[in-house]
Amino acid sequence: MSESPWDQAVRLTQVAMRAPQIKRFYRTAAIGEVEGGYALLLDGRGARTPAKNKLVAPTRAIAEAIAAEWAGQGAVVDPTSMPVTRLANSALDGVAKTLAETRADIVSYAGADLLCYRAETPEALVAMQAAAFDPVLAWAEEALGVRFILSAGVMHVAQPERATAAVRAAVEAYESPFAVAALHGLTSLSGSVLLALAVARGAWSAGDAWRLAHVDEDFQIRRWGEDDEAMARRAARWVEFEAAARVARAV
């Protein structure tokens, strides 16, 4: 499978931010109002992304979150502790140049949305999925004005064109590279564009949505126990998801 524009942008940003590690080179991190939004200021000077674009956020809330990440660094700058900064870099260096492609990638999840695929057995998992997924589907049907088809097992089911078109219209309403980057993060990390829209619109909290997206995994954990490496990966992905939720709502 070829790499999507979003995945390429994220990969390039991650490579650039993996360093080598650098010592903290600034004393203060603040924000300043500039044309187009709010800039990150390190010792009063405007910061830039790995691709040398000006690090300017569209809202004060996002800029303040970025500045807080930089202010919270110790003697060594640790990019892994700055999820909002990483998202901003991806938005400015990648998504801004591939808005249409990134939106299309988000919409593609509508064809295999996590919420629409249900287990046939065991009964306990079937009930857990219904309790978790059905309320979000009901919200999506009301918010988008279309009904989505469910599938049992692993068989693919094509959604009606009206449903796909409604998702496309909802996604295309997001114009800011920051909003699109955040929505893509929510979608790819959860496996559900419907859940991503619910979080972005404030209908579901990030924490509740994250638990919902892991119903199947949590069911298996109850049966077989936790895997330390898998849980560590999940914790790292939660940090990204929560940051994307904050940005999506702040734009």
How does DSSP assign 26-38, residue by residue?
Answer: -S-EEEEEETTEE
Whether 94 maps to a domain, the answer reads no
What's the pTM? 0.91
Instruction: Compute the C-alpha angle 180/4/93, nearest 5°.
Output: 55
Residue 236 has pLDDT above 90, yes or no: yes
In total, how many domains does the chain have?
Answer: 2
Q: Do 61 and 120 belong together in one domain?
A: no
17 has pLDDT over 70: no
Predicted local distance difference test score (pLDDT) of residue 3 = 63
CATH number of the domain encompassing residue 63: 3.30.2180.10
**Single residue among 81, 111, 139 that ends a domain in this structure:** 81
CATH code for position 182: 1.10.3580.10
Percent share of the chain, pLDDT over 70: 92
Tabulate helix, strand, coil % of the chain (nearest 5).
Answer: 60, 10, 25
Same domain, residue pair 48 and 124: no
Mean pLDDT throughout 64-68? 98
Cβ neighbours of 121 (radius 10 Å): 9
**Omega of the bond leading into 122 within 30 degrees of 0 (cis):** yes
Same domain, 154 and 185: yes
pLDDT bracket for residue 11 (50, 70, 90): low
pLDDT digits (tens, 9 = 90+) for 89-141: 999 999 999 999 999 999 999 999 999 999 999 999 999 999 999 999 999 99
Task: Indicate the range of 6-15, 20-29, 36-45, 46-55 predicted with least confidence.
Answer: 6-15
What is the spatial distance between Cα 216 and Cα 220, in angstroms, rounded to a whole number?
6
Relative orientation angle of helices 83-93 and 60-71, to the nearest 10 degrees: 120
170 domain-assigned: yes
Among 16, 49, 81, residue at a domain's last position? 81
Residues 201 and 236 in one domain: yes
- The domain of 72 spans 5-81
- 162 with 228, same domain: the answer is yes
> Do 151 and 239 belong together in one domain?
yes
pLDDT for position 7: 63
- One domain for residues 116 and 239: yes
Query: Using 50, 70 and 90 to split pLDDT, how confident is the model at 22?
Result: confident
Same structural domain for residues 74 and 112?
A: no
DSSP output for 152-201: ETT---PPPHHHHHHHHHHHHT--SHHHHHHHHHHHHHHT-HHHHHHHHT
pLDDT for the residue 155:
76
State the residue for tokens 């049966």.
223
What is residue 21's DSSP assignment? Answer: -
Q: Of 236, 77, 109, nearest to 184 (Cα)?
A: 109
> Does the residue 232 lie in any domain?
yes
Query: Residue 152 is encoded by which pair of tokens?
Result: 């049992």
Distance from C-alpha of 169 to C-alpha of 36, rounded to nearest angstrom:
26
Across the chain, mean pLDDT equals 93
